[in-house]
């Protein structure tokens, strides 16, 4: 099962389907390319993933897929 360690020490396991800590997102521009009957597989391919750490709330965004390191975002405050 794929996993990574958050900076806070929490182990983020993201192999489960559906994954409770994974979120999918698509840009507004990319979304506008879909109209009418939507091929869900094509929509899925256009999406990016991020993991949300349940302990500290950091977001780990995979802008270029899971083969490259994610970008870390930390909540303010």
Could you read off the pLDDT of 52-73 as tens digits, one per residue?
Answer: 999 999 999 999 998 999 999 9
Report the 10 Å Cβ neighbour count for 60.
21
Q: Are 60 and 53 in contact (CB under 8 A)?
A: yes
Residue 77's pLDDT is: 76
Which parts of the chain have pLDDT scores under 50?
A: none
pTM: 0.87
């Amino acid at each position: 099962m794929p996993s990574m360690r958050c900076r806070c020490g929490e182990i983020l396991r993201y192999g489960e389907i559906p994954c409770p800590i994974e979120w999918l997102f698509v840009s507004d521009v990319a979304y506008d390319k879909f109209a009418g009957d939507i091929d869900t597989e094509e929509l899925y391919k256009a999406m990016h993933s991020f993991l949300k750490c349940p302990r500290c709330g950091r977001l780990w965004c995979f802008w270029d897929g899971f083969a490259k390191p994610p970008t870390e975002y930390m909540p303010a405050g």
